[in-house]
Structure 1
Amino acid sequence: TLGLIRDELAAVEREKNVRLLSTLNREIAAIVRDNPAPFIYERIGNRYRNLFIDEFQDTSITQWHNLIQLFEHLVSLDEMGMVVGDGKQAIYRWRNGNYEQLEALPGLIGNPGPALVDAAQALRRAHLPATLKFNRRSGSAIVDWNNRWFGSVQRHLPESLQGVYDDVQQTATAKHKGNVHLACLVQEEGVGKQDQRNAWVVERILAHTGGTLVDEGGTKRYVPPADASAHFALSDIVVLLRRNKDGAALAQHLMDCGITPWTSESLHLGRHPVTLAVVALLRSVLDPDNPAHALAFAQNYCSIDRTASEAELLRSHRTVTTYLGSDGKERKRSAMDARALFQAVAPDLRPWELVTAPLTLLVGHCFEALGWSNRFPAYTEGMLELVHEVVTQRRGTLKDFLSHWDRRGHKRSIRVSGAQDAVQIMTPHKAKGLDFKVVIAPIHPEKIDRFKDEIPVRLDAARFGLPAALLRDSDLKDTVMDHERQAEIDRTVLDALNVAYVAATRAVDRLDIGLEFDKPPSADMAIQTLPQLLWKGWQEAFPERVNGATVLDNFGANDRKARAADDQAVGVDHVQRLALGQPYGQRIARPKLHWAALASEGKWTPIEHGNAVHGLLGELEQARDWPSLKERMERANLWTPDQRASVSALIDSILNGPDTRKFFEAHATEVFAERTVHFGNGELGRPDRVVHLDGVWHVVDFKTGEQRDKHKSQVAGYCEVINAMHPDEAVKGWLIYTEPLLLVHVPVLFGAS
């Protein structure tokens, strides 16, 4: 089968005259294998006089063989080529990365041809190895911990792999110590591993930030400490998780706790019970007599509300009627009262009454009536964005949306993002090469006493009838090929340990390690999982710190790395805030270009000038925020002095203007800047500023150009949306023209004008 797939792929490549990167590597290898200094390398060598390869431990054998002759060519010109790698950070074996060739340098592994062997001889003569011993990232206590911890774990590695960790000892250059916190997370009865892990992560986040969680009517909200200077910010923290699905689950848990996550990993609309329940509800609107939709809704609803009983919910809304069959016998027919079921869980839920309303209103009503718009804002956003796309690209009927959902919509990914007030979530693979003030690293109990999937194994064709085969762990165990199995297990152990090493060496000030276990660890346990291996290493590396509980350790000091003034500049951060906990009509965030992304090349266009002003005003909640923001703008030095001066003067005039300064006063109870609102026709808008002041909602839009009639109708539309969201309060509309400064009142036909 694999051979047929390969042949078909080759045929497609020939037909399209394209090559996959893997195919290109093989074709280059076929040329350079037996031909010294080919023409292509001579041409490249004439353009580039030095060559540097980073992360060499993750380079494949084929890739290195393809580059050797280029290195030889540079050496012959008395130029320099350099490779840098660390076998302890080899975590891409699944992409054919091979750390063994780093260990073998300047020799070659694999099956090089004569030309490559000759090139390797030239490299051997020019070989100048060097080991980097200094750690310029982490606090001295964190470096000491990792030195002792992984040095101890090294002794438990197979003898053939221990050499990878021979150079694990590093010398710290940092003046601060930092702190390491280790916890053993033993699975509790009745608590899922994922739930326990997520709860521990939140506990550590609160410990580092000094924040608290407040329950407000069933919705949790994160409250930062009164004095944040003694604590870390949410944006200082990264959580490193081995698996993407664990990261998605943690992101949702953090959002449930009122903590904004920042993750590049996708949360999938079609995998969460909230969106699946809403889709089932919408299907029932079109097909009310099909009980499958009510069943799907009940299943997903009960997976969200653990207090609800799926069986009881279905049983209490099931009706049974009798009828006479064609044979004259009495029979029974069961049916599901779907509407009664829906209203039993959400009395205000009436989607069938909104079938002719705009689709965004229908879907938004479902989330709002079920109480999910506040609890699951990211999925609400994602669903409404998908609805908006269907509305704008197609006819926008409910049938069209469900058809799109079945084809592609369920695969839609949403990304939860933040910047200055968000906890980062990523895998150790994406964190490699980076550093973070606080690292929280739960270690998943993955098995290391066996390997998963299948591996290619060469066989004796005369004996087995095949030259090679893809075999599983169980296929090789206790057979004449068991040595192949053991070699793969050894590589599996190294893969897992290297991922843990990468995670443990990212921290600057704080390192939290959570070792996950199915049952309490003990000194005589067999090592079957990565946490068990690391626990053994901890016990042996720190015998003086082992106590009776053996579940907790703190090492180092609670100090921090000193920050120079230049390190505090954040003007180049491109902030994208996710609006959490607001009514569903305010939730699709498509910010204008951030002010720090504007270039200063030449004279600004009117649009660029307007973006600069809007971007800065959008970050101001109160007038007292302006000095720090202005300092960031000046320190970033992204614009010319004249540009900075003109924008600063304009904003100063708005903040100090007798008519306009009230919109930036400190006693405003709520302030929203650049939040998306949904009009009844499915269109979107973004009022520049919405302020709740003295019981009145003020909708403010800034204009840097000339006055136009359409500006008033735009603000009036915003006011109408705000009035619909807060029908019992007064709403006023305003336009602020900046040059010259002028406040214009926009009359509205409802509330207070």
Structure 2
Amino acid sequence: MKNAKFFKIYRSSAGAGKTFTLAKEYIKLALQLDKFDEEFNPDYFQHILAVTFTNLATAEMKERILSQMLVFSKANSKLDDDMLKSIVNEFYGFGNEDPDPDVQKNKNEPELFKRIKERSKIVHQKILHGYSNFSVSTIDAFSQKVAQAFKRDLDFPFNFELVLDAQNLIEDAIYSLMDKLGREDQKELTHALTQFSIKMAEEDRSWNIVPNISDFGKALFDDSQRKVLEKLGVNQINNKELTITEFSEIANKLRVKIYDENQKIISDAYQAIVDSMRSNNVAFDDLSKHVGTGIQKLDKEINSIDLKLSKTMEKVMDSGDPSCLATKQNYKKMPAGYDAVYPTIQEQVSLIVETVKKTKLIRLVYDTIYLVATALVLQKELEEQKKEQGWIHISEIGDNINKIVEDAPMPYLYERLGEKYNHILIDEFQDTSKTQWHNLIPLVANALTEDEGHECLVVGDAKQSIYRWRGGKAEMLVELPKLPTAKGTALEEEEYVFEQQAQPLKLGKNYRSFPNIIEFNNSLYEFIRQDTNDDLLSKFYLGGEQEKHKKVGGQVRLTICQQSGSKGEVEEMNLSRIHQQILHLVNEEGYSFKDIAILVRNNSNGSKIAEYLVKEDVEVISSESLLVNSAPSIQFIVNMIRLLVRRADKMLFMEIIRFLYSHYKDIEANRWEQKNVSPTEIDGDTYIQLGDLIKECDQQKKFEELLKKEFDITFDLSVFRRKTLFDQTEFLVQTFSLFKRTTEQSYMMKFLGIMLAHTQKQGNSAQEFLSKWENLQQKEAISVPDNIDAVRILSIHKSKGLEFPVVLLPYADWSLTPMVKSRKWFAWEGNSVVPELSATNLPLQQFLEKTDFKEGYAEEVRDTYIDAINMLYVATTRAKKHLHIFTSKNRSSSTSITKLLLSFKDFALKQSNFDTNELKSTTIDNVLFEEYEFFSDDCINSSSKKEDVENKIKTIIHTDQSEYLRLKSGALELGEKEIHLEEIALAKNKGVIIHKAFEKIRFKEDIDEASNYLERKGLIEEQEVLEYKDAILKIISHPEVGSYFDKKSGYTVLNETEIISPRKEVMKASIIDRPDRLMYKGQEAVVIDYKTGNYNDQHEIQIKRYGTALKKMGFKQIKLILLYTENNEVHHVKY
């Protein structure tokens, strides 16, 4: 091609067809239209890597590519498909600024069409048959593949488990921390957490520190903050690990600095003023009123002194004129005295103000020092847990790859991948983090310079960057082809390649919205761009005006609530106004409820709207209603599982009985055969009657009898307990006819999938599942059902990429500045206040502008402002036909989106070419609503109300798997040929349970914790704890093994640690052994294997293999011991 440039940079806007463009470019590359048939490689799609931001986007992209190829393969000779027409035009260079004349000269459209059709059919089949080579995935999924292939190079465990949800890791670590509190060997940790809790209470915040610790845990997985925290645990003075004791010393030092040293500086400074005035015969009464009181206000406890001086005092400090200390009359009486004290007042007041300023920063650091200490402990706990469990969080993969790619121009890690992928296509580039982009740069650069160059592209819209909290850096898109974030790394040299190959392109036409909505958004964001002083935001929105598509009309309305009543009254009237507008859209303008989407900034606002609309009989689908746990049938299933660990809980019995009463009433009345039904509500009298039934249920047996008597249900908890969690769920669905609840079927199917995934990974502990469910129930949701005519309520974040005929945007009044209670971790290396620390956590207060953190604070203020504008942009560009924005005037309007909307409204009213009308104001219960309309809607609503399509599942087929047991890989090799299912399922085999306890025991001192662990896991009853403690103590007190459980023995103890040995017959495979207890010191190794039942030859064969492996590892003296926990026998195996 003539002067071809291969790095396409598509800068897009909302509704401009980003997915369309990426799919089109992929298909063009896969079909190799510039190749003759003899050169065409139908497997070439394997050399294309397309990365997206989310799993949903990945699925959409794959579906789009395959469906378009299928369309092409069946197309007739007419170019009636938009993508097909676009591909043909681009191939011949129509629309290009510099088309290749040779290509246009030899134009043969029928031949090209035939090539597209034939190759689409072939490649479509090839992709389906080689789907694993269809490389369209998220960046994280691609990184995971790299990690699996290069786990040794990346220093990952051999059998690591990838963790996607950081919250699970955080909760496990916090649980472990809380479990250590109060222990004799954890006094420092207990002190630190206690002090932090007290500090929270002193600030009128909840003394419950778990949420605060959890917030720090999230920062550890945050791309933007993780780097700041890397050195947190290292003392910056001596480069050694910081201990909690040192944090206590730092806290004491800061306390002395605040209340002793700095307080003395202020007291001395104030006294110097008093002494100077006394020696010069100037009394406070001689000073002007505001000067005298201004100075006296400085004679306080340091934390009570106001940093901001009065205007009179500022004049005293800045004027250089002693006469400003007093009235003209007083000054004339003794000018020499005022002249003498003036320098002292200036100097000492300046010293006081500067000291108070420094002290305020020290106080902020002091107030959070125990949070920093706690954060450090959590960080260590997380690392220990990940190492012990072999867990790797998805963010670590990117970080570890990044450390390699930033050190080498073409890292060896990517050499093989560079050979495989000729084309790299990146979607949603504005949401890509610095780490993710840096990890892809070598691949992109390699592709651009390979042979004659291979085409690569990025697609993105900086205006839709709303995932900064995930590390997204939209400025990278704005700066391309430059690579400012790569400065100082090996990647910097690739900037030249990118600049040489760059082909900037714009996707400027909006195919989604009607023209009036496009015109409104063009004007609004150009107004904001010109109004802002922020250069980065201006770059984001520069040239963002969109072309209109061939449509007519569209309507935009702005409602402004004048907040004159109480907060509750105004809230109620706002909700009423939203409800009125929905009814108007449906009854007067012909829309369906399903055409309407309400977008909110946070879930709490969404919940309020949903609750109000449901009360007014408007069908709603919201984030909460889509949660799996919102279905009563799922709550019932979980409650039945809770019976396994809460054995005599009358409140739980009551919840179950209430559900069953309502459930069977609904089945009897065939309510589930009707449309849009909700469960029967229980009246007060019935509730009391049910409560009376529960009073007698003081044990589970009586509860089982109640189920039989009232509902004719035979339910035996002992049988139920023997089933796996998945089988328990299926059993409940079938036994209690839950699938007759047709509106909840999708929730049950989703829950069955969740349960299956959990049991495959985590096992069948009810206690463990319930613990995980506490977190999962707030996240797991079903997809939106297409067949329900209901108003959708969703967050602006979740609306990204979606479109709706009608969009209502209530609560468009969010802040443009950081929230009052928001905090941030700041790098602080080389500071003079606490030189030991490399970072600290501070509230985002304006005061920081006057401190060492002014740059970090200014960056946060700028980013918050951009986030707020981008959030508005995403929300206002979802609408196709109708957009209605609701905002409120209040005291904080000057620092919120409201200010921008009101300013734009005033601007629009003055523009002769802007069709803006002030509509009749509405008053609802003394709350005034001003209404404005931008453009008149001259389009006809073509929305058609579709009949609901019912997809009901009549029943669920349940196959009880409780009698089957899958052995783990290698179990037979380990001699475990006989496994008593009932003993394990019921967890009543004492030997099995004790074996479980020994996993937690390294020394004799661990017995208490191990026994409590059994009770927490639901393996034993609370009253059995003491019994098991005694049994374990008896075993480890055996004279032949007792010394091995003594801390003073000097052994390093490893429980359940893997020993990996190569097989002789298959060199690539390995044998993985896991001794129960391995101890070593020097050249000596001791293995203790715990066994239930009696001695078996297979036990000896198994433990001897451990010995062989240890010998190969270099141990000279090896002892092998079989310890039978049921009869307390010890067998020494000769080796």
TM-score band (shorter)? Answer: 0.5 to 0.7
Structure 1 pair 182–70 and aligned structure 2 pair: CA distance change class (3 A): same
Would the aligned equivalents of 1:60 and 1:98 in 2 still touch at CA under 8 Å? yes
1:455 pairs, out of 824, 833, 856, with: 824
SS in 1 for 2:445: helix
Structural mapping, 1:345-364, within 5 Å: 350-353=690-693, 357-358=706-707
Structure 1 pair 99–344 and aligned structure 2 pair: CA distance change class (3 A): closer
Amino acid at match of 1:553: Y
Distance 2:395 2:768 in 1: 37
Distance 1:184 1:191 in 2: 17
Partner of 1:86: 461
**Cα displacement (A) at 1:121:** 1.5
1:531 pairs, out of 898, 918, 921, with: 898
1:552 equivalent in alignment to 2:931:
yes
1:199 equivalent in alignment to 2:576:
yes
Would the aligned equivalents of 1:153 and 1:536 in 2 still touch at CA under 8 Å? no
Would the aligned equivalents of 1:181 and 1:512 in 2 still touch at CA under 8 Å? yes
1:27-51 Cα distance to aligned partner (Å, 9 max, x none): 1111111212223423223333222
Would the aligned equivalents of 2:481 and 2:495 in 1 still touch at CA under 8 Å? yes
Partner of 2:810: 442
Distance 2:409 2:574 in 1: 55
1:508-540 Cα distance to aligned partner (Å, 9 max, x none): 111111113436xxxxx8621222222222322
Structural mapping, 1:230-379, within 5 Å: 231-265=590-624, 350-353=690-693, 357-358=706-707
Distance 1:36 1:68 in 2: 10
**Cα displacement (A) at 1:149:** 1.4
Structural mapping, 1:40-189, within 5 Å: 40-77=413-450, 78-160=453-535, 161-187=537-563, 188-189=565-566
1:474 pairs, out of 845, 858, 880, with: 845
**Cα displacement (A) at 1:98:** 0.7
Over aligned residues, Cα RMSD in angstroms? 5.1
Partner of 2:404: 31
**Cα displacement (A) at 1:495:** 0.5
Structural mapping, 1:583-598, within 5 Å: none
**Cα displacement (A) at 1:180:** 0.8
Structure 1 pair 231–542 and aligned structure 2 pair: CA distance change class (3 A): same
Would the aligned equivalents of 1:435 and 1:507 in 2 still touch at CA under 8 Å? yes
Amino acid at match of 1:532: K
1:127-153 Cα distance to aligned partner (Å, 9 max, x none): 111222211111110011111112212
Distance 2:552 2:578 in 1: 25
Structure 1 pair 33–408 and aligned structure 2 pair: CA distance change class (3 A): closer
SS in 2 for 1:450: coil
Structure 1 pair 561–351 and aligned structure 2 pair: CA distance change class (3 A): same
Q: Percent identity?
A: 26
Q: Which structure: larger Rg?
A: 2
Would the aligned equivalents of 1:101 and 1:108 in 2 still touch at CA under 8 Å? yes
Structure 1 pair 591–516 and aligned structure 2 pair: CA distance change class (3 A): farther
Would the aligned equivalents of 2:631 and 2:747 in 1 still touch at CA under 8 Å? no
Distance 2:574 2:768 in 1: 38
Would the aligned equivalents of 2:590 and 2:941 in 1 still touch at CA under 8 Å? no
Would the aligned equivalents of 1:184 and 1:514 in 2 still touch at CA under 8 Å? yes
Distance 1:67 1:287 in 2: 55
Larger helix proportion of the pair: 2
1:638-693 Cα distance to aligned partner (Å, 9 max, x none): xxxxxxxxxxxxxxxxxxxxxxxxxxxxxxxxxxxxxxxxxxxxxxxxxxxxxxxx
Distance 1:51 1:402 in 2: 46
Amino acid at match of 1:555: F
Amino acid at match of 1:117: E
Amino acid at match of 1:246: N
Partner of 2:999: none
Distance 1:69 1:146 in 2: 38
| TM-score normalised by the chain length of structure 2 | 0.37
Structure 1 pair 134–287 and aligned structure 2 pair: CA distance change class (3 A): closer
SS in 1 for 2:885: strand
**Cα displacement (A) at 1:206:** 1.1
Comparing 82-91 with 422-431, which one deviates more in the overlay? Answer: 422-431
Structural mapping, 1:583-662, within 5 Å: none
Distance 2:803 2:810 in 1: 17
**Cα displacement (A) at 1:18:** 4.2
Distance 1:405 1:66 in 2: 38
SS in 2 for 1:445: coil
Distance 1:484 1:170 in 2: 34
Structure 1 pair 592–163 and aligned structure 2 pair: CA distance change class (3 A): farther
Would the aligned equivalents of 2:597 and 2:791 in 1 still touch at CA under 8 Å? yes
Comparing 125-134 with 448-457, which one deviates more in the overlay? Answer: 448-457
Would the aligned equivalents of 1:89 and 1:501 in 2 still touch at CA under 8 Å? yes
Distance 1:184 1:542 in 2: 15
Amino acid at match of 2:471: N
Distance 2:708 2:461 in 1: 55
**Cα displacement (A) at 1:427:** 1.5
**Cα displacement (A) at 1:21:** 1.4
Would the aligned equivalents of 1:238 and 1:436 in 2 still touch at CA under 8 Å? yes
Distance 2:809 2:577 in 1: 11
**Cα displacement (A) at 1:23:** 0.5
Amino acid at match of 1:422: A
Instruction: Please list every run of 5 or more consecutive structure 1 residues that lacks an aligned counterpart in the other structure.
Output: 212-229, 298-341, 363-376, 391-400, 520-524, 578-588, 594-753
SS in 1 for 2:409: coil
Distance 1:246 1:272 in 2: 21
| TM-score normalised by the chain length of structure 1 | 0.55
Amino acid at match of 2:838: P
1:514 pairs, out of 886, 890, 901, with: 886
Distance 1:403 1:71 in 2: 44
Distance 1:240 1:15 in 2: 43
SS in 1 for 2:802: coil
Amino acid at match of 2:845: S
Amino acid at match of 1:358: L
**Cα displacement (A) at 1:237:** 1.4
Partner of 1:316: none
**Cα displacement (A) at 1:347:** 8.7
Amino acid at match of 2:615: D
Would the aligned equivalents of 1:68 and 1:120 in 2 still touch at CA under 8 Å? no
Distance 1:85 1:203 in 2: 38
Would the aligned equivalents of 1:237 and 1:439 in 2 still touch at CA under 8 Å? yes
**Cα displacement (A) at 1:90:** 0.7
Distance 1:17 1:491 in 2: 36
**Cα displacement (A) at 1:380:** 14
Amino acid at match of 2:791: V
Would the aligned equivalents of 1:57 and 1:99 in 2 still touch at CA under 8 Å? yes
Instruction: Please list every run of 5 or more consecutive structure 2 residues that lacks an aligned counterpart in the other structure.
Output: 1-373, 659-681, 695-702, 712-741, 756-765, 922-928, 957-1135
Amino acid at match of 1:235: K
Structure 1 pair 450–56 and aligned structure 2 pair: CA distance change class (3 A): same
Amino acid at match of 2:882: R
